[in-house]
């Protein structure tokens, strides 16, 4: 076995830290326009808590800024199966959330009796007992995975990764836009100086794509449905438009034949999992 790098630790040490920091996630429901979100929250930052318990484990897991925890968790969620190796974890979680959903309907049905009066108590008990049975979903016959199913699975993974990257870029670009809007009010400032300041202030890997102008070429403008050449001072692109351009560049580096228009990428892939942003 090769000699380990000083910043690498082995799995047993990582496993011990994982057990020490894990807590049962808090559960919440958010109702938004055309969307219902089931939200599970850990009341701490995972990287921060790992660093608090063991800095070497933190260095091993998060030493490479190109590998994001959010992307790793999304990939795990879409690919992981139970110990029997048959049932996907995402499917099992979905089934349990459906039971929570039906249970919520039972509670709503029970609250209705409070308005109708005690003479409906027996009716409520009967209907509440019947609801889970009536809402039970039938499981179809088990079949082997087809090429179509495998393709759908790969597309779901791609959508999840793209959405995660888009959300991350969107928040970072918002900070850059604020900075650029402030700099345009500085008398005598030029683009070269702004580019130098961008490199010093922001450590995002994609900043170089902006300072070398590659991310400012052929930006898709949603309002006019045309390609534009963007500027820094003032920033004449939206966070969405620049994020899509950066994703396009990054994907073409990984897959040279990648060829999806910005509009299709946004509407059919990034927004396939959630509301539009």
Indicate if the pLDDT at residue 191 is higher than 60: yes
Residue 109 lies in a domain: no
How long a stretch of residues is the chain? 277
Other residues' Cβ atoms within 10 Å of the Cβ of residue 153: 14
> For the chain, what is the mean pLDDT?
83
Residue 29 lies in a domain: no
Residue 259 lies in a domain: yes
Residue 33 corresponds to which tokens in the numbers above? 């326009």
Q: Which residues contact 115 (CB under 8 A, 6 or more apart)?
A: none
* Threshold 0.85, pTM exceeds: no
Q: What is the pLDDT of residue 275?
A: 45
Residue 187 lies in a domain: yes
Cα separation values, 236 from 47, 64, 232, 264, Å = 35, 32, 7, 22
Mean pLDDT of the region 7-28: 88
User: 111 or 80, which is more confident?
Assistant: 80
**How sure is the predictor about 99, in pLDDT bands with cuts at 50, 70 and 90?**
confident
**How sure is the predictor about 65, in pLDDT bands with cuts at 50, 70 and 90?**
low
Range of the domain at 223: 147-272
Contact 196, 232 (CB under 8 A): no
Q: What is the pLDDT of residue 276?
A: 46
Q: What is the pLDDT of residue 67?
A: 67
Share of the chain above pLDDT 90, in %: 26
Residue 59 lies in a domain: no
Number of folded domains that form the chain: 1
Residue 17 lies in a domain: no
Lowest mean pLDDT among 1-10, 18-27, 49-58: 1-10
Residue 37 lies in a domain: no
pLDDT digits (tens, 9 = 90+) for 119-131: 777 777 788 778 8
Residue 115 lies in a domain: no
Contact 253, 142 (CB under 8 A): no
pLDDT digits (tens, 9 = 90+) for 237-250: 999 999 999 999 99
Contact 174, 239 (CB under 8 A): yes
């Amino acid at each position: 076995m090769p000699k380990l790098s000083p910043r690498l630790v082995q799995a047993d040490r990582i496993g011990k830290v994982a057990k020490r920091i894990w807590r049962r996630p808090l559960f919440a429901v958010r109702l938004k326009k055309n969307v219902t979100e089931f939200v599970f929250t850990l009341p701490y930052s995972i990287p921060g808590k790992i660093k608090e318990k063991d800095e070497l484990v933190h260095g091993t897991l998060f030493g490479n800024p190109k590998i994001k925890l959010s992307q790793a968790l999304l990939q795990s969620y879409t690919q992981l199966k139970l110990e029997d190796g048959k049932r996907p974890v995402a499917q099992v979680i979905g089934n349990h959330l459906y039971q929570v959903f039906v249970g919520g309907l039972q509670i709503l049905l029970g609250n209705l009796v409070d308005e109708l009066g005690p003479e409906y108590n027996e009716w409520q008990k009967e209907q509440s007992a019947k609801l889970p049975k009536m809402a039970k979903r039938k499981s179809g016959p088990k079949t082997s995975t087809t090429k179509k199913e495998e393709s759908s699975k790969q597309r779901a993974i791609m959508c999840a990764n793209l959405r995660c990257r888009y959300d991350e870029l969107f928040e970072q670009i918002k900070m850059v836009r604020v900075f650029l809007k402030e700099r345009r009010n500085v008398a005598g400032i030029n683009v070269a100086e702004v580019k130098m300041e961008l490199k010093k202030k922001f450590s995002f890997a994609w900043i170089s794509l902006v300072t070398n102008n590659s991310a400012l070429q052929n930006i898709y403008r949603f309002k006019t449905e045309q390609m534009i050449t963007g500027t820094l001072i003032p920033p004449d692109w939206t966070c969405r438009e620049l994020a899509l351009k950066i994703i396009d560049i990054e994907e073409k580096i990984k897959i040279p034949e990648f060829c999806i228009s910005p509009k299709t990428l946004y509407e059919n892939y990034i927004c396939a999992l959630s509301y539009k942003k």
